[in-house]
Structure 1
């Protein structure tokens, strides 16, 4: 996606083959009427890896993409994977339930977001983007043009996909999947994340995958690869080179 430009460039210049794709319903991918569940998302990912004959892959996943990497391991194993990075990830399980009291959102919270998207998608996403970047702190260095760029990307998405993906990332349980993510795994999360708080997500991954390494970026927001790209790129390049 466009906001990963700096990461793609860093990897490409270091000599790595980089494949970046749009999830179904977003960007230039097909705007399907159904299929916005993690089982379908990882089936799409598996099809992509097989079509391109990719093995020994490092999957670098951002935000709800962390659920895709986790579920991929849960459904298909890790035989084609070298390693995985979960960045600002929704795993292990955001929904508060009786057996997951440390989750970050309730069912009512999820449906409230879905309702806001349905009522006024541009308005909701504009506010979401500012929280995504901790804009009051980082807006001056990113520039207002970055908000225009973000809007150009998110308004390409299907309204159906936008609503259903809120339900998918808010209510999907990846705890059992993480147990099967046995390749070297690095979790990178900002402790100032207003979208997916560290304590409800990345900070809990080692409970379900004890071999995962957690790197907390002090003061970083959800979109830490945009606001702290040089720092993050060093972490990324050091990890993929292992």
Structure 2
């Protein structure tokens, strides 16, 4: 297996497929998962001729279960170490959920020439938790509940989330995939309980407002109005308003885990953006209502 060593000595696992001279696409996973959550997208974009890279965030998957560093500044620093080690330039960084926050912080601080574009998918920016400056946010009690459930019985929590709201399997008429549920559980249980616990604060309380303002590259913001994990109204529309070159693509009734349930829709939209068909020099809002099978 392939690893890089970060500045503080952590071992970060990564996958690196495809021609080394091809444009790289770097994938950033959500909580509490791993690089494996991007299997479909990595195979798809590999087939389109790109170099595809994905890592397990520290404390997640096959990376070190470090005691420290389970917060956004260190996550972004780890990505910087990875991109430097692999010498990734002109890359497209794609982040889902917590990974979208990681992308925002890394891209805002990245070295010139490292990043060409970014994609935020059902992502946590600008900030999730309700506070005076974010009155539409999610109450802190919700995240306290996640922490309590994780500490009490992590294995059960990691079944309840994918069985219910993550993939929208709690919606009437939903086509449930037992494989997706089991794979979510497998990935979550590979990681550290401590990292999973502390990452809840990282994804819910980190404010990415200044990061979004600082990003100079085109950003595609993808979000579904039926996202039950990261509420749409307090995320994507606010994010795109803060970006200099943002495009908002709204789906009507896809779940939070849309990359796995509807890859044929998401992959095509990302590919169009990556190829420059929807890069957009100025902010643009596009509302897409897919035909559901």
Question: Same-fold call, TM > 0.5?
Answer: yes
Deviation at 1:113, TM superposition (A): 1.3
- Single out whichever of 160-169 and 210-219 deviates more from structure 2: 210-219
Structure 2 portions without partners, runs of 5+: 1-34, 277-293
CA contact (8 A) 2:220 2:246 kept: yes
Rounded Cα–Cα distance in structure 2 between residues aligned with 1:113 and 1:213: 32
Structure having the larger proportion of residues in helix: 1
Q: Which runs of 4+ in 1 moved over 6 A?
A: none
Q: Which residue of 2 aligns with 1:205?
A: 239
CA contact (8 A) 1:78 1:181 kept: no
Q: TM-score, normalised by structure 2?
A: 0.78
Paired residues, number? 241
Matches within 5 A, 1:1-242: 1-76=35-110, 79-103=113-137, 105-129=138-162, 130-137=164-171, 141=175, 143-242=177-276
Q: TM-score, normalised by structure 1?
A: 0.94
Q: 1:119-178: CA deviations, max 9, x gaps?
A: 111111211112100013499645212212221111101000110011100100000110
Structure having the larger proportion of residues in strand: 2
- Of structures 1 and 2, the one scoring higher in RCO (CA 8 A, sep 6+) is 1
SS in 2 for 1:85: strand
Rounded Cα–Cα distance in structure 1 between residues aligned with 2:223 and 2:254: 8
Deviation at 1:192, TM superposition (A): 0.7
Structure 1 portions without partners, runs of 5+: none
RMSD after superposition: 1.6
SS in 1 for 2:220: strand
Rounded Cα–Cα distance in structure 2 between residues aligned with 1:134 and 1:113: 18
SS in 2 for 1:18: strand
